[in-house]
Structures are given as C-alpha cells and as structure tokens.
Amino acid sequence: MYKEIFSIRLKKAREMSGFTQREVAKELGITQPSLAGYETGKVEPNIETIGRLVEFYGISVNWLFGLGIQGKNPNYYEEKKEELKYG
C-alpha cells in the first residue's frame, strides 16, 4: 500500500512542480532511470534520497506516504494497542 501511494504521489509532486525527471535527477545528483524507477514503484529510494526529494518538492513525508493522524480521536493509539493485544 505505502509503496504504491509513494510512487503515485512522487510522480504527482514532480508534475505539479513543472520539472522533468531529468531536471530533478540532475538537481538531486541521482540518475533519471532511478527517479523513473521510484515513480513507477520498481525501485525504492534510500532514506537520504527520500529526504532530499521531500525538501526539493516542498512536500511532507506524511503526504508522500499517505500518512496522517489528523482527525483521529484522542484514544486512537490506545484503541489500536488493544486491537493488537487481543487480535
């Protein structure tokens, strides 16, 4: 799930920025085929590259991975722990 969301949103961030894969790759010091692989989900970037991509596009890691806790009730984590505890 996260891998699919990551690749879709990474491509969306690039398209919204108006940069080509070649331009982003050059700016970040990675290869264009690597960036293409990230955007298709065929290759996973390391954490350093994820950080540089997030900074370059001005996006949050939460958005990039489809994460977020906004709107969750205050007892969310306690309830989640109970679910895990009792299956």
Q: Per residue in 40-54, pLDDT tens? A: 999 999 999 999 999
Helix (H) or strand (E) holding 47: helix 47-57
Average pLDDT value for the chain: 87
**pTM of the full structure:** 0.77
How far is the C-alpha of 34 from the C-alpha of 44, rounded, in Å?
A: 9
For the domain covering 2-86, report its CATH number: 1.10.260.40
Alpha-carbon distances, residue 84 vs 43, 56, 69, 73 (angstroms): 31, 37, 18, 18
Residue 16 has pLDDT above 80, yes or no: yes
